[in-house]
Amino acid sequence: MAGKTIVVTSGKGGVGKTTTVANLGTTLAKKKYNVVLLDTDIGLRNLDVVMGLENRIVYNIVDVIEGKCRKEQAMIRDRKLSNLCMIPAAQTREKNSITEEQMKELCSSLAAEFDYVIIDCPAGIEQGFKNAIAGADTALVVTTPEVSAIRDADRVIGLLEAALVRQISLIINRLNAKMVKKGDMMSTNDIIALLSVPLLGVVPESEEVVVSTNRGVPLVHDRSSKAGAAFRGMAARLNGESIPLDGDSRGFFGRMKRLIWD
């Protein structure tokens, strides 16, 4: 059976797409699935540094598409998980060096071999976006609780629907619970009501994200991280497991259970 092809997109830049791809991919690989991450942000490659794989790059996605190498040659294996790999974006090429047709072909050939193909989409709604979504059957739209990010997310959801991407769900990143409590940030429910797309999960604003990016080690490797727990919950739901949404921010009981079971 063919694997799932999932594009992580947002419209607005800097909202957490690359962070999401790295953490969902790592979690699914830890669950023993075969996972390939595809960086389609041509010209602004980043997934490699977030994954800590920047010094192993030889070939990139454009080389694969232009037939300069086989796709296996461009796949960089993760340092910890042998069933996780990444195809980097080209750094010195243009977004229109590849076409939607070519992306579709690449995605379906990857989906034949992997359980999960996770695509990191560039910001914007131009050719790079169109390429990134061309071969995807599922889209995860990332937004932060801010007006400009939400507006861009709404636009992107419209474009995804027009492109007949069947499954669309929402990820809210960088939620600041204290600000929501004070009434100075839109709540999860406010955002869901505005965008009317099912919610996959909520990631808190967290310094841990910055630290893990600095180190090039995805957050989900750290069992004690709260933001990491949010990504693990999302990966589980993506995988069809019925983990309740509020289980991500574990209270005392959740922590006890973890101590017992882990």
Residue ranges binding ligand ADP (CB under 6 A) = 10, 13-19, 46, 173-174, 203, 205-206, 209-210, 213, 227
Size (the chain), residues:
262
Residues in Cβ contact with 230 at an 8 Å cutoff, skipping those fewer than 6 apart: 201, 202, 203, 204, 248, 249
Q: How far apart are the first and last CA of the chain?
A: 32
Chosen residue from 67, 183, 240, 244 binding other proteins by CB under 8 A: 183
173 contact, one of other proteins, ligand ADP, Mg ion, none, CB 5-8 Å limit per kind: ligand ADP
Of residues 41 through 100, those in contact with Mg ion by CB under 5 A are 46
Q: What is the DSSP string of 1-68?
A: ---EEEEEE-SSSSSSHHHHHHHHHHHHHHTT--EEEEE--TTS--HHHHHT-GGG----HHHHHTTS
Candidate residues 1, 55, 67, 182; the one interacting with other proteins per rule CB under 8 A = 182
Stretch that binds other proteins, among 73-81, 142-150, 219-227, 248-256 (CB under 8 A): 142-150
Least distance (Å) between residue 136 CB and ligand ADP: 16
Q: Which of 44, 177, 194, 245 binds other proteins (CB under 8 A)?
A: 194
Q: How far is the CB of 17 from Mg ion (least distance, A)?
A: 5
179 near other proteins, rule: CB under 8 A: yes
Report the residue from 184, 253, 259, 261 that binds other proteins according to the rule CB under 8 A: 184
Minimum Å distance from CB 27 to other proteins?
30
The span from the CA of 245 to the CA of 250, in Å, is: 10
Cα(61)–Cα(76) distance, rounded to whole angstroms?
11
Which span (1-9, 114-122, 153-161, 207-215) binds other proteins, by CB under 8 A? 153-161
- Judged by beta carbon distances under 5 to 8 A according to partner kind, the member of other proteins, Mg ion, ligand ADP, none in contact with residue 40 is none
Q: Which of 61, 74, 76, 186 binds other proteins (CB under 8 A)?
A: 186
CA 106 distance to own-chain centroid = 18
Cα dihedral sign, 250-252-257-260: positive
Window contacting other proteins (CB under 8 A); options: 46-54, 71-79, 190-198, 233-241 = 190-198
206 binds, among ligand ADP, Mg ion, other proteins, none (CB under 5 to 8 A by kind): ligand ADP
Report whether 200 contacts 171 (CB < 8 A).
Answer: yes
The C-alpha angle 220, 225, 229, rounded to 5 degrees, equals: 60
What is the rounded CA–CA span in Å between residue 208 and residue 180?
Answer: 20
Q: Number of C-alpha atoms within 13 angstroms, CB side, residue 24?
A: 30
Write out the residues near Mg ion by the rule CB under 5 A: 17-18, 46
Write out the residues near other proteins by the rule CB under 8 A: 146-147, 150-151, 154-155, 158, 179-180, 182-187, 190, 194-195
